[in-house]
Amino acid sequence: MPSRTEAVLDAIKHAILTGELRPGQALVETELAERLGVSKTPVREALKTLAGSGLVTMSLYKGAAVREVDRELARCVYDMRLLLEPVAAGRTTSVARGDWAQAASALERADRAADAAERSMANRAFHRALYAGCGNPLLVASLDELRDQTALVSSAAWSRQPSWEQEADEHRAILRAAEDGDADLVRRLMRGHISAFMARNFPENEAE
């Protein structure tokens, strides 16, 4: 990806994850290009990439818009994570292929984050360090495809109910278990971590 397009992509993603670009808001290429001081071409390419990762929706008639977050989206994303991530993290731990130093560094970045976008992306880096060494590239690719949508869901949830301190404590417990080589505990803690986020932020009995 050309560096200018990558910079535009990062800028738009940051604006989405901080809520500066609101859920459902139209993303007009000319307006974004003027705002970012670039031509429409890198904006168009960035929007295509963001649509592919699930942060943006594209309509033939309405154009691009920030994806809206509701319980159904959160349920779909977190159901997939619940099925895949505890298994991948457990396998990474059992074969001792995890980069625990990278995971710890990601937790430090999350603690120092200036906004929800930085914190959410640091959290995604932590989770990737836990699952990337599982030995199954298809499993890793499936979880990688969920990273941006997970960031979108978590940022939306935090805007209503900041819960990152509790999640940070859960992350530290998972990392300690991984460092100890306890794959069964990593699986249990990861499953509980993902389930608890949904229970806190998108309970089944919550009104739409």
pLDDT by residue (tens digit) across 164-174?
889 999 999 99
HSE-CB of 23 using CA atoms within 13 angstroms: 13
- At residue 19, the 3 state secondary structure works out as coil
Q: Does 47 lie in the same domain as 76?
A: no
Picking from 23, 48, 66, the residue at the C-terminal end of a domain is 66
Picking from 66, 90, 112, the residue at the C-terminal end of a domain is 66
- At residue 114, the 3 state secondary structure works out as coil
HSE-CB of 111 using CA atoms within 13 angstroms: 10
pLDDT, the chain, mean: 93
> How far apart, in whole angstroms, are the C-alpha atoms of residue 138 and residue 116?
29
Give the per-residue pLDDT at 205.
67
What is the Cα Rg of the chain in Å? 18
The CA-CA-CA angle for residues 74, 21, 152, to 5°, reads 20
Q: Which domain holds residue 105?
A: 71-201
- Classify residue 103: in a domain, yes or no: yes
Q: Where are the alpha helices (DSSP H) in the chain?
A: 3-17, 29-36, 40-53, 71-94, 100-112, 116-131, 137-145, 147-160, 164-179, 183-201
Q: Does 84 lie in the same domain as 44?
A: no
Q: How many angstroms from the chain centroid is the CA of residue 72?
A: 16
Q: Of 142, 21, 144, whose CA–CA distance to 8 is shortest? A: 21
Q: Which tokens sit at 153?
A: 């869901």
- Classify residue 207: in a domain, yes or no: no
> How far apart, in whole angstroms, are the C-alpha atoms of residue 84 and residue 89?
9
Number of domains in the chain: 2
Q: Does 104 lie in the same domain as 28?
A: no
Residue 206, pLDDT above cutoff 80: no
Q: Does 75 lie in the same domain as 62?
A: no
CATH number at residue 19: 1.10.10.10
Residue 123, pLDDT above cutoff 80: yes
Question: What is the mean pLDDT of the segment spanning 2-30?
Answer: 91
The CA-CA-CA angle for residues 14, 128, 71, to 5°, reads 60
Question: What is the mean pLDDT of the segment spanning 81-99?
Answer: 95
Residue 161 pLDDT grade (very low, low, confident, very high; cuts 50, 70, 90): confident
- Classify residue 208: in a domain, yes or no: no
**What's the start-to-end Cα distance of the chain, in Å?**
39
Based on the number of CB atoms within 10 Å of its own CB, is 11 exposed (0-12), middle (13-18) or buried (19 or more)? middle
